[in-house]
Copies of this chain bind each other. A is one copy, B any other.
């Protein structure tokens, strides 16, 4: 049983972290730290949690206690750098859900985030927590992947790893619900503006692009990669369509084999024989994937919940790996609970 601190805990991802930690069997204690909502009660900030999570006072990040075993950090880009190094130095385990530790090179961070990274040492020590590909057991600092990279990498790594040299280009169009932009007050995020609407954004400049490239490159692919992000007129979910152009044809059986082997033991990746519906994945920690081989191209469609698999759920999955616990603890309420209760009754 551990004690957990959630820093920046009252945004959309924070809300799910609170719920997952609340129902997690190995978490004895949870404290929430925030900036703008510090001093308020949890039930006043997130009234929907009343009756589900006990009320508690949200503490100020400035009065951060170092008594917890593990810290989830959900601060805006640039702000994690002010908090994470001290925690790591104090021997605390940290899972950072922002972008400050995802890239391996400080220069790349400076270029894409327009900030100055002050701790390249930690960049090289961190574990990139793509939980269905890499295992986080024993890690101290985990950079939780971005939401788009989670979908994009789960869609392509089995192919880049097994046939990276045979890929001419990877072309990804991703669509995200508006919760991906958080609660920031911007006109284009108003329902009256975005309802029934769609718009591509940050074409060629999205910060998740170098993150995706970095992991693709490590896995054996170094060709052309283009990535276009769009805003969907819904609240939650990412739908990602990867069109992979091959240099030479691959047999469909071989391609399917790459994916089925890669995810054979991964309970949170569901290979589908039709393109997934986004809603299958929303509200869960699953990534639903479909692979189609069509002439010289491979088309991979995938669906995730951007706030769960793309943020809080994967963070809890990383925590479970980190401590060597059952990977789905706190995430798959059904089966898990049933088993517990059956032992007890």
Contact = CB atoms under 8 A, between A and B. Distances in A.
Interface of A: 1, 12, 19, 22-26, 28, 47-48, 50-54, 168-169, 171, 173, 175, 177-179, 181-183, 185-187, 189-201, 203-204, 224, 226, 228, 230, 232-237, 239, 241, 243, 245, 267-268, 270, 272, 275-280, 282-284, 286, 290, 292, 294-297, 299, 301, 303, 332-338, 340-345
B1 A169 contact: no
Nearest to A333: B333
A199 B239 CA distance: 8
A25 B345 contact: yes
A203 B294 contact: yes
Contact of A226 (B239, B243, B279): B243
B187 A195 contact: no
Contacts of A297: 169, 171, 224, 226
- Majority SS at the chain A contact face: mixed
A34 to B, nearest CB: 15
Contacts of A48: 277, 279-280, 284
Contact of A198 (B24, B278, B295, B296): B278
| Among A233, A270, A334: residue with most chain B CB under 10 A | A334
Given A197-B279, A343-B344, A19 B245 contact: no
B197 A190 contact: no
B183 A277 contact: no
Contact of A178 (B47, B191, B239, B345): B191
A345 B191 contact: no
Nearest to A26: B345
A190 to B, nearest CB: 5
Contact of A169 (B168, B201, B299): B168
A275 B333 CA distance: 30
Given A183-B187, A195-B235, A294-B203, A340 B341 contact: yes
12 contacts: A22-B335, A23-B333, A48-B284, A51-B268, A169-B169, A169-B297, A189-B192, A196-B234, A198-B277, A199-B275, A200-B239, A224-B295
